[in-house]
């Protein structure tokens, strides 16, 4: 058995200063850790330092205590710090409407062991995917949403997320806008897939907008949801070439594959603790 059995991953960001890399590596060494991988980035314009560091701790070491101690250390050197323990699986909820391509892709990736998480529930404003959710063995929650009941529907959703201790919501083509109150009350990350190459063609029917504009590239954008529609920090984007010969239906067909791949990658990076958000941008460590 390896003398190193538990792994921790830390994400740090804050004002750039001399000796940060040395301080971090020194703390890990002093606390019987072994660095497995480390990467850093400096935003020269903003003067902000970013780092992702992954390390192992001695067998028998309490990983939770180590995580708390590193968190305190990060605070002491002026860094915003997040520490995750490998092996701990956050609970995830998938929000979906009728389109099922992203829905199936995410669940099959999870079933195959690609995602270190637990998909705990499905929330939908339509019943179309209720049967297949049961087939997958995931609880399905039908919560209809319209203009008249939106506040009540979101309150029901929030109560469900709290009860199930959900740590991440993935909007897999959930065709509703989550309110600022919902996002603020939930207080945890929400990843959305938008079927265009943002910031172009935000809002409804982006493929129709793209076709009308005669674009030569279409795209998909995975981003964190914020109160500003389709304006949240971008995690990942993909594009495909199109021509004047392509109809709106062609764009939709090509785009759906982009949507699946783009959302899948963004969710994977998030679950692997590779994303740092600052201002309205992201640093994604490979």
Residues in CB range of 80: below 8 A, 6 or more apart: 12, 13, 14, 74
User: Looking at 39, 128, 184, 230, which residue is catalytic?
Assistant: 230
| Residue 238 parent element (H or E) | strand 234-241
| Residue 234 parent element (H or E) | strand 234-241
- Encoded tokens for 70: 């590193």
| Residue 241 parent element (H or E) | strand 234-241
215 closest CA partner among 255, 178, 184: 255
Pairing of strands 80-85, 48-58: unpaired
Residue 230 annotated among the catalytic residues of the structure: yes
The catalytic residue positions are: 230
């Amino acid at each position: 058995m390896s003398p190193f059995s538990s792994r921790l991953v830390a994400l740090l960001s804050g004002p750039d200063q001399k000796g940060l890399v040395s301080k971090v590596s020194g703390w890990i060494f002093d606390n019987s850790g072994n660095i497995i991988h480390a990467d850093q980035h400096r935003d020269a314009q903003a003067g902000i330092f970013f780092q992702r560091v992954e390390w192992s701790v001695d067998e028998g070491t309490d990983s939770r205590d180590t995580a708390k101690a590193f968190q305190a250390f990060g605070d002491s050197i002026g860094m915003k710090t997040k520490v995750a323990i490998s092996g701990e699986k956050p609970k995830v909820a998938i929000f979906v409407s009728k389109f099922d391509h992203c829905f199936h892709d995410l669940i099959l990736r999870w079933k195959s062991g690609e995602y270190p998480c637990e998909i705990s529930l499905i929330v939908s404003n339509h019943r179309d995917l209720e049967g297949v959710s049961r087939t997958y063995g995931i609880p399905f929650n039908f919560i209809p949403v319209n203009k008249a009941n939106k506040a009540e529907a979101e309150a029901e959703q929030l109560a469900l997320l709290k009860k199930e201790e959900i740590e991440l919501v993935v909007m897999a083509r959930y065709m509703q806008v989550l309110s600022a109150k919902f996002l603020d009350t939930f207080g945890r990350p929400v990843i959305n897939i938008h079927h265009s190459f943002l910031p172009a063609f935000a809002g409804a029917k982006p493929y129709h907008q793209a076709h009308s504009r005669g674009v030569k590239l279409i795209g998909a954008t995975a981003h964190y949801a914020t109160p500003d529609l389709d304006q949240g920090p971008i995690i990942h984007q993909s594009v495909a070439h199109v021509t004047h010969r392509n109809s709106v239906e062609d764009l939709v067909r090509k785009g759906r594959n982009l949507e699946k791949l783009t959302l899948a990658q963004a969710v994977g990076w998030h679950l692997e603790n590779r994303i740092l958000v600052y201002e309205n941008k992201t640093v994604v460590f490979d």
